[in-house]
Amino acid sequence: MHIGADYYPEHWPQERWATDARMMREAGFNTTRLAEFAWVNLEPEEGRFEFGWLDEALAVLAKEGIRALLCTPTAVMPAWLARKYPEALALGKDGQRLTWGVRKDSCYTSGALRLASERITRAMAEHFKDTPNVIGWQTDNEFGGPVCYCDSCRAEFQDWLRRKYGALDELNRAWGTHFWGQRYGTWGEIDIPMDPAGHNPSACLDWQRFHSWLNVRFQRDQVRILRQVCPQHFITHNFMGLFHELDYYDLAEDLDFVSWDNYPTLRTGQPQPRTRAASAADLMRGLKKRNFWIMEQTAGPGGWGVYSRNTRPGELRSIAYQQVARGADGMIWFRWRTCTAGREQYWHGLLGHDGRGLRRYQEAAQTAGELQALAPLLEGTTVKAPVAIIYDYDSIWAIRIQPGYAGNAYHADMARYYEALFRAGVNVDFVKPTDDLAPYKTVLAPDLYILPDEVAQALDVYVKGGGVLLADSRTGVKDATGLCHPRTLPGLLSDALGVAIEEYESLGEPGEPAGFSYAVRGEGDLAGPFTAIRTAEWAAPTTAQALAGYADWHMRPYAALTRNAYGRGVGYYLGTVVQEERFYDLLIARLLADAGVAPVVVPPAGVEVSLREGSGRRLLFLINHTEAEQAVDVPAGKLELLTNAATTGVLALGPHGVAVLQL
């Protein structure tokens, strides 16, 4: 297993390097990441390279048995580059160039920047291809960049559209330019749709896709060189979990595996189940359908101006285990030592400014030792989830461009289902709309706003063939180019779901200006009281059975939640957002029952369960995210791998405690 810390030798006197390398080895580390942001250190003047310092750093690390991956250092262009080629800096909406010095400020259509990026990539690849402890590459850093509005980007956007649509008539049709007299007579007339709240939604969607593609292309230019010069090295990139400015499926395509940067304590005031980090891990695993690395793992309080809370004793370890439980095969903490200079002085590493190996270092060392001991068993295992959630960048973008109901947001909607599955102790995969759904017993399609006919047909086939599908409000509103389908919704899913959406409205949330709610009432455990917020579709069941409806007089003919037996499967439809968490627990329980999915262990609140399996082994991870001791009912007579003790049937987990059972 690859374990270590992100290291910036250029931040420290060379006399210290040997101490750092020794302390890494003593912590059980074997891997580090170098040269991120070090472009100017490697190419201090255009075309003049200085690799000596990095050779020496690599040699010092090699002496302690530490391997390294190197970064293409392009996330910060050198000052000389910005000065000489000002067009390499992105142009903001206000027509101003970004001021150099905050990193990630590039225009990806700048020829000067693209050439310079290829030059430093090739020079590094040639120089380090045979360095024995260099094992792979990270491209750039956290692609996402600024959106650039310069003339060159506009011209490339026009070219991209020409390649996509071929004929201008096709674009005019796809964007619906008959509205507001928007028809284009030449490609050159097409402008950047800068105002996502005012411009044509179809144009905005293509602009977002183009922005994503520019980043993918910038990476691809580097990958091509690395593959050619260093075929023996792996190539990865450090993704940002649920960040969604780029189509991460596309960005992952050229890589050997995905890595990601995990900072869960930035968002949470107090320890709590890190469902966001869990879902991000599941998505990262889903991008290439294979295990991933953590390239930057929480090592302490983070923040650029104000630092976040610190990890409690045991929490740094449990943060790491959560990711291993969900498919991490590499664990690199960010960063080794807290830097004494620059904007990230308060982004804490395992070591403080003083360079001493205290509590956080020791906890990472303990974790590293345990993970190395587990490594032979983890080998060949991954998460094989019975449930899939469709994660679709087109829909996420289209909702942001035009949410429909007030407060519509993909991630909040998805999280309601995800968290209920997390509480139920069931693993989830994230999949593209076009992925094969056959391996899944149940598929959830939250906010599938953009629904091309082929996807709808595949979902129909899935249900007919025995799958359990859940879809919800505003499913299938638009086609792939962002035009509304001229059909009664849910369109091609009408048979599978057995409802007809006659009308719909925004509710907001009680307490918000103009916000109100409806009471939701169902039979049995769905009796509630539950509250419909945000949106209500006036959905008439056709063949579906209404499981819950609305109590308000004018809404009584309509269903809030329906279940439709269709072919050998079942289609659920939820035409609203329900405020109460418990509603989602009940809904997920029904879905799992229909799908015949039963978790191995039903965890108490605050405890996470995740199963890795493969190579004839099943490893069940249990993680206590609370600061209280938790008792978990587990199968008896199984080996707990961290203590080497057999389970008795009830397992005690201390605060932030972790256990790994071999089933």
Supply φ then ψ for residue 645, to 5 degrees: -115, 150
Report the residue from 321, 347, 393, 417 that binds ligand GLA according to the rule CB under 6 A.
347
**DSSP, residue by residue, 309-376:** PPPPTTHHHHHHHHHHHTTEEEEEEE-SB--SSSTTTTS--SB-TT----HHHHHHHHHHHHHHHHHH
296 binds, among Zn ion, ligand GLA, none (CB under 5 to 8 A by kind): ligand GLA
Pick the closer one to ligand GLA by CB: 300 or 569.
300
Pick the closer one to ligand GLA by CB: 139 or 475.
139
Rounded least distance, CB 203 to Zn ion, Å = 18
Rounded least distance, CB 298 to ligand GLA, Å = 10
Rounded least distance, CB 240 to ligand GLA, Å = 7
- Residues numbered 138 to 167 that lie near ligand GLA (CB under 6 A) are 141-142
Report the residue from 34, 69, 125, 153 that binds Zn ion according to the rule CB under 5 A.
153
Rounded least distance, CB 294 to ligand GLA, Å = 11
Q: How far apart are CA 158 and CA 34, in angstroms?
A: 38
Q: Which two tokens stand for residue 103?
A: 């990193």
Percent of the chain as helix, strand, coil, to the nearest 5:
35, 25, 40
* Among candidate residues 418, 491, 494, 499, the one with its CA nearest the CA of residue 449: 491
Pick the closer one to ligand GLA by CB: 53 or 307.
307
259 is a contact residue toward ligand GLA (CB under 6 A): no
Q: Which of 296, 370, 419, 537 is catalytic?
A: 296
347 binds, among ligand GLA, Zn ion, none (CB under 5 to 8 A by kind): ligand GLA
How far apart are the two ends of the chain, measured CA to CA in Å?
Answer: 22
Rounded least distance, CB 190 to Zn ion, Å = 15
CA atoms in the 13 A half-sphere facing the CB of 270: 3
Could you tell me how many residues of this chain bind ligand GLA (CB under 6 A)? Answer: 8
107 binds, among Zn ion, ligand GLA, none (CB under 5 to 8 A by kind): Zn ion
Rounded least distance, CB 214 to Zn ion, Å = 9
- 322 in Cβ contact with 623 (< 8 Å): yes
* Cα 101 to Cα 37, 81, 218, distances in angstroms: 11, 12, 20
Report the residue from 140, 206, 245, 261 that binds ligand GLA according to the rule CB under 6 A.
261
349 binds, among Zn ion, ligand GLA, none (CB under 5 to 8 A by kind): none
Pick the closer one to ligand GLA by CB: 292 or 566.
292
* Cα 121 to Cα 42, 140, 279, distances in angstroms: 11, 10, 33
- Residues numbered 106 to 145 that lie near ligand GLA (CB under 6 A) are 141-142
Pick the closer one to ligand GLA by CB: 141 or 177.
141
Rounded least distance, CB 74 to Zn ion, Å = 15
Whether 10 is a known active-site residue: answer: no
573 is a contact residue toward ligand GLA (CB under 6 A): no
Collapsing DSSP states into helix, strand and coil, what is residue 58? helix
* Cα 136 to Cα 35, 129, 180, 501, distances in angstroms: 12, 9, 52, 52
214 is a contact residue toward Zn ion (CB under 5 A): no
Q: Which two tokens stand for residue 537?
A: 């579709």
Pick the closer one to Zn ion by CB: 218 or 361.
218
601 is a contact residue toward Zn ion (CB under 5 A): no
Binding mask 296-335 for ligand GLA (x = CB under 6 A): x-----x---------------------------------
107 is a contact residue toward Zn ion (CB under 5 A): yes
Q: Which two tokens stand for residue 535?
A: 């949106």
Q: How far apart are CA 205 and CA 276, in angstroms?
A: 26
Q: Which two tokens stand for residue 331?
A: 């664990």
Pick the closer one to Zn ion by CB: 150 or 421.
150
Collapsing DSSP states into helix, strand and coil, what is residue 85? coil
Whether 296 is a known active-site residue: answer: yes
Structural element, H or E, at residue 662: strand 658-662
113 is a contact residue toward Zn ion (CB under 5 A): no
Q: How far apart are CA 134 and CA 128, in angstroms?
A: 7
Q: For residue 529, say if its preceding peptide bond is cis, omega within 30 degrees of 0.
A: yes
153 binds, among ligand GLA, Zn ion, none (CB under 5 to 8 A by kind): Zn ion
282 is a contact residue toward ligand GLA (CB under 6 A): no
Q: How far apart are CA 402 and CA 394, in angstroms?
A: 12
Q: How far apart are CA 522 and CA 375, in angstroms?
A: 49
Q: Which of 36, 43, 87, 142 is catalytic?
A: 142
141 binds, among Zn ion, ligand GLA, none (CB under 5 to 8 A by kind): ligand GLA
Report the residue from 126, 344, 585, 594 that binds ligand GLA according to the rule CB under 6 A.
344
Rounded least distance, CB 238 to ligand GLA, Å = 6
148 is a contact residue toward Zn ion (CB under 5 A): yes
Give me the sign of the Cα torsion angle 196, 198, 202, 204.
negative
215 is a contact residue toward ligand GLA (CB under 6 A): no
150 binds, among Zn ion, ligand GLA, none (CB under 5 to 8 A by kind): Zn ion
The CA angle 483-489-494, to the nearest 5 degrees, is 130
Kindly indicate which of the ranges 147-155, 432-440, 499-507, 549-557 contains the residues binding Zn ion, using the contact rule CB under 5 A: 147-155
**DSSP, residue by residue, 176-234:** TTTGGG---SSGGG------TTTS-HHHHHHHHHHHHHHHHHHHHHHHHHHHHH-TTSE
Which residues lie near Zn ion (CB under 5 A)? Answer: 107, 109, 148, 150, 153
Q: Give the binding site for ligand GLA (CB under 6 A).
A: 141-142, 238, 261, 296, 302, 344, 347
Catalytic residue numbers read 142, 296
